[in-house]
A and B are shown apart, each in its own frame.
Chain A
Amino acid sequence: MSWQIFLPYLLVMALVTYLIRMLPLTLMRRQIKSRFVRSFLGYVPYAVLTAMTIPDILYSTGYTAGGVPDGLITACVGLAAASAAAWMKKGLLTVAIVASLAVAAAQAVLMYI
């Protein structure tokens, strides 16, 4: 791709993305007084993460709708293992590794069935 075509795209992408992140973080300098808004913002992280995890996690190991179900099976194994580790209050890195190892193990099993 020629740089003459690429650079304007790059500039627009980077600028828009940065401004969206930067403006609220930089302009909002005081603690919000409204009890409702404070409660709302406190719950946002959990809601956002849940919406990004469910159901996307099922498609994170190569499964596509209508395709071979192997990816779906390994994803479910990974989901179960990660949920169990998280339930036991393991740390972020531990749970991430458990999820990946469970998927790897499930793949190995599927390969030899």
Chain B
Amino acid sequence: MNANFRRGLRDGIPIGLGYLSVAFAFGIQAVSMGLTPLQALLISMTNVTSAGQLAGITLIGAGASLMEMGLTQLTINLRYALMSLSLSQKLDGSMHTLQRLIFSFCNTDEIFAVASSVKSRVGKYYLYGLMVFPYVGWASGTFIGSAAGTLLPAFVRTALGIAIYGMFLAIIIPPMRSQKPVRTVVILAGLMSILLRYVPGLRSIPAGYAIILCAVVASTVGALLFPVEDAQEAQDDGEKKGDEEP
């Protein structure tokens, strides 16, 4: 097996495990909205996004118009455009149009995060490997959840719920230790996210917009204060800067 493909597979395992539990919850909810397990599975296999799907089944349950469905998906999922744009700068020469069309299907928050955290450029073998377990976990979790949601003990489901966030922390925290630019961006984004969640007035901003707002403001400040020096990615540059610190 291609070494990059295998590396991608391995990096996808924690995402797949996390998805299994999140999709499980989605499956249970979809059935409660009146969808069949097969319909829930089809949504997960064609959308591959948690927040968008959750909003989607809510709208289906409420009998919303197709226009409302389209606009809601656009709003909640617009952050992916930013992620795809960011990732487009990291792809190597093996990613031609077909490979990009295929990978786009699975560019979730978590897959994007892991692909972004790779030090070098990423190519088709790594990205294909990375897609496998998350996709299987997301689809099978949905089906199991919708068909047999109550069979798994509650405490197992609860413990699995934090897995995805644990993985995020594993990506965010190590570079924060040594790189001041990343530290600054993370602290700023975290503070903004808290404000947007709890301050009355700001609280009414939909979650999809709130993430975009945090990302745009924190990254803009980061880019103004710590512009990258050369043709490398900002991460690589931050790494260098960080190493120079005492």
Taking Cβ atoms with an 8 Å cutoff, the residues of A that contact B are: 1, 3, 5-6, 8-10, 12-14, 16-18, 20-26, 28-29, 31-32, 35-57, 60-62, 71, 74-75, 78-79, 82-83, 85-87, 89-101, 103-104, 107-108
Contact: B162 with A16, CB < 8 Å?
no
Taking Cβ atoms with an 8 Å cutoff, the residues of B that contact A are: 10-11, 13-15, 17-18, 34-36, 39, 42-43, 46-49, 52-53, 56, 59-60, 66, 69-70, 73-74, 77-89, 91, 97, 100-101, 103-105, 107, 109, 112-114, 116-117, 155-156, 158-175, 177, 181-182, 185-186, 188-190, 192-194, 197-198, 210-211, 214-215, 218-220, 222-224, 226-228, 231, 233-235, 237-238
How near does chain B come to A14, taking the closest CB pair, in angstroms?
4
**A14 nearest CB neighbor, chain B only:** B46
Residues of A close to B164: CB separation below 8 A: 60, 96
How near does chain B come to A95, taking the closest CB pair, in angstroms?
4
Residues of A close to B235: CB separation below 8 A: 42, 45
A35 to B17: give the CA distance in the assembly, Å: 37
Known contacts A23-B81, A52-B168, A87-B177: A39-B222 contact under CB 8 Å: yes
Contact: B228 with A42, CB < 8 Å?
yes
Q: What are 17 residue pairs bridging A and B, where the CB atoms are less than 8 Å apart in the complex?
A: A1-B35, A12-B70, A17-B77, A21-B84, A22-B101, A29-B88, A32-B89, A36-B224, A36-B227, A40-B223, A41-B219, A49-B172, A54-B190, A60-B161, A78-B165, A96-B164, A97-B166
